[in-house]
Chain A
Amino acid sequence: MAIYALKRLLWLIPVLLFISIVTFGLMHAVEGGPWDEDRSVPAAVTENLNRKYGLDKPVWRQYINFVTNAVQGDLGVSYQRQDKPVTDIILSGFRVTAVLGLMALLLATAAGVSLGVMSALNRNRLPDYAGVLFASLGSALPAFVLGIFLIYLFGVKLQLLPTFGWDVRRGLIPGWLPPIEQMVLPVITLAALPAAYLARVTRASLLDVLRQDYIRTAHAKGLSRTAVLTRHSLRNAAIPVLTVIGPITAGLVTGSFIIEQLFSVPGTGRLFVQSVTARDYGLIMGTTLFYATVIVVANLAVDLAYAFIDPRIRYR
């Protein structure tokens, strides 16, 4: 187990190297540099800027410099944001993205699992159809379409909720959580897809368990319905559900580009889109590598967690 985990962590090295080379190459293949503005800058100024940031060196030299610094935890500075270190920018953006993702995860799990259980226990009756309909709708609607419908309904028609913003200064927990009314729409929008997916998995898994012999045995020995449900059915049905929660978490924490854009949430996703359009080399590299690390580590954590949840899984 420990050896397996170590092997997977070592795999991170070639992955990050590959990703950094590809990103670096792509970035420098784009025409134009970080100093292109609407007003043209004198050539001498551009030259001096290039020299200051080492952009006058050959690309391979720049790459080596970047890697040497990155290994020491220094991802360089942002060209667009007054030389703020990239690491600081990413971490402050990630705090927003991670909070948004975790709130969505909580909502998705609560809603998805209860819908799935409701569907499975009322198989082929009205609640089941409602649950399946929700699951289909949720997995078919792109997030921004759902977001727009919600904005139209609650922001435009009913004028109940704000349609943008994530102001952590005057929030529930200053610095971490924004006011509740700002969280409602983005969190629901982000949670819809995973909730629908969890509902499907929960329903299928519970139906599968309910067919098993040991459930019949439990009923036959006279256990009450609730006892069979909580002690036998749900516990076994939880394994597949737990296994998909892992990838969902990674997806939520790294995949909220569109929602951040739609609701003007100042997270890492929006940061990345902005840095690409602004050719902010340092920030692009930093964000890409950061996300890749998060994804690889999250997948590893999930795989290791399975071994604890399901003793039938063995890793070599």
Chain B
Amino acid sequence: MSRMARRDGGLGVRGQKDGSLTLTGSLPPAHGLWRLAWRRLLRNRLAVTGLGVIAVFGLVALLAPLIAPHDPSAQNLRETFEPLSLNHLAGTDNLGRDWFSRLLYGARLSIAVGLFAQLIVLGIGVPVGLAAGHFGKGIDTFLMRTTDLVYAFPDLLLIILLRSVLGGSIFTLFLIIGIVSWVDIARLVRGQVLGLKGQEFIEAARSLGASDRDIMARHLFPNLLGPLIVVVAFGVPRAIFIEASLSFIGVGANPGVPSWGSMVQEAYAAIFSSPHLVIFPSAAIALLMLAFTFAGDGLRDALDPRTEVTARPRRDIEEPTSPALPVPHETDTELPRAA
């Protein structure tokens, strides 16, 4: 035992004279794989640019009340359709509202929708996937049939229906987008758990008497972090996209709330006379979405070096792939394990 421990530098167990056992050797450097992934990420210039742009938008969202030159909702009917000026950096709309301030507050809504919707997605999807994969049998069948049912519901239809029932406050938007999007995560987590379940470290934990909760929370979950980060990196822009699209067709955020989607829609009527009112919010959405795409691609490549862009889509019967969402490929054992 002790010789083996010395040879591979890992942990070993040595018997003491009094019959007790002590641990020998040292743990390998913690989070080595995370550091490697981080280094790979920093080498990817597009991804770093994307992350930088996201950080700037995030700052703007946080500091919107401090940097906005005007109240985003204040109307001034004597200054409608002002051109770009130092006072109104992006002009004003048909109600005389300062478009630049509205743009800044729009970042707030977009980022908030992206993040909080993902929290709800994770809050539903991870436990469902963990439970289905870990317990198997009846629970698995039940949970997976449920996700199949939700999956068959046309996304946008369900969103629009829920929106008309629950109303358009910001929190219901988080909730609605979360309710509709958790299925993909649940399936991903279940697939990962099924792959991990048979491995020795889970068996070891079980034979040491770990409870189901311990196994799920301390052994399975940490191994899911890598794939989850990638899914969230693609989920955030998807939520932002859904909110903007909904607001654009008039069933998103409540009227008056500064949202890039509704700004585009409001200004669309005036596209011939004041095209910049439409162009600015559209460009903001485009820029943020691009940034997330590059960052997400970079994270995927960094956390799962085996995949290259989109490898052969693997299909099996239970899991139809969705065309709009590039689901990251399965990673299994390469990510750090819980000690």
Q: Chain A: residues with CB nearer than 8 A to chain B?
A: 11, 14-15, 18-19, 22-23, 26-27, 29-30, 136-137, 139-145, 148-149, 151-152, 155-156, 193-194, 197, 200-201, 203-205, 207-208, 240, 243-244, 247-248, 250-251, 254-255, 257-258, 261-262, 272-273, 276-277, 284, 287-288, 291-292, 295-296, 299, 302-303, 306, 313, 315-316
Q: Is the CB of B313 within 8 A of A240?
A: yes
Q: Is the CB of A194 within 8 A of B323?
A: yes
Could you tell me the dominant secondary structure of chain B's interface residues? Answer: helix
B161 within 8 A of A: yes
B33 within 8 A of A: no
3 shortest A-B CB distances, which residue pairs? A140-B293, A247-B323, A140-B290
Q: Residue A18 contacts which of B149, B245, B294 (CB distance < 8 angstroms)?
A: B149
Q: Is the CB of B157 within 8 A of A277?
A: no
B:113-169 near A, CB below 8 Å: 148-149, 152-154, 156-158, 160-162, 164-165
**Stretch binding the partner chain, chosen from B3-11, B22-30, B85-93, B279-287:** B279-287
| B271 surroundings in chain A (CB, below 8 A) | 148, 151-152, 155-156
Complexed CA–CA distance, A277 and B246 (Å):
13
Which B-chain residue is minimally distant from A203 (CB atoms)? B309
Complexed CA–CA distance, A29 and B165 (Å):
6
Q: Is the CB of B315 within 8 A of A306?
A: yes
| B160 surroundings in chain A (CB, below 8 A) | 272-273, 276
Known: A140-B289, A149-B279, A247-B323. 11 other contacts (CB 8 A): A139-B293, A148-B271, A203-B309, A243-B313, A261-B248, A284-B161, A288-B157, A291-B157, A292-B153, A292-B154, A316-B317
Q: Is the CB of A204 within 8 A of B312?
A: yes
Complexed CA–CA distance, A261 and B164 (Å):
18
Q: Is the CB of A145 within 8 A of B282?
A: yes
Which A-chain residue is minimally distant from B268 (CB atoms)? A148
Q: Residue A276 contacts which of B148, B164, B286, B308 (CB distance < 8 angstroms)?
A: B164
Q: Residue B289 contacts which of A142, A151, A315 (CB distance < 8 angstroms)?
A: A142
Q: Chain B: residues with CB nearer than 8 A to chain A?
A: 148-149, 152-154, 156-158, 160-162, 164-165, 237, 241, 244-245, 248-251, 261, 264, 268, 271-272, 275, 278-279, 282, 285-286, 289-290, 292-294, 297, 308-313, 315, 317, 320-324, 326
**Nearest chain B CB to A281 CB, angstrom units:** 12
Q: Is the CB of B293 within 8 A of A204?
A: no
Q: Is the CB of B153 within 8 A of A26?
A: no
Q: Residue B152 contacts which of A19, A247, A316 (CB distance < 8 angstroms)?
A: A19
Contacts A148-B278, A151-B271 given; does A142 touch B245 at CB 8 Å: yes
| A277 surroundings in chain B (CB, below 8 A) | 164, 250-251
Q: Residue A152 contacts which of B164, B278, B286 (CB distance < 8 angstroms)?
A: B278
Q: Residue B275 contacts which of A152, A261, A291 (CB distance < 8 angstroms)?
A: A152
Q: Is the CB of A291 within 8 A of B294?
A: no
- A-B contacts, 27 of them at CB < 8 A, read A15-B152, A18-B152, A22-B153, A22-B158, A23-B161, A26-B162, A26-B165, A27-B161, A30-B164, A139-B326, A140-B237, A140-B286, A142-B289, A144-B245, A145-B264, A145-B282, A148-B279, A156-B271, A193-B324, A203-B309, A240-B313, A244-B313, A276-B160, A276-B164, A284-B161, A295-B154, A303-B320
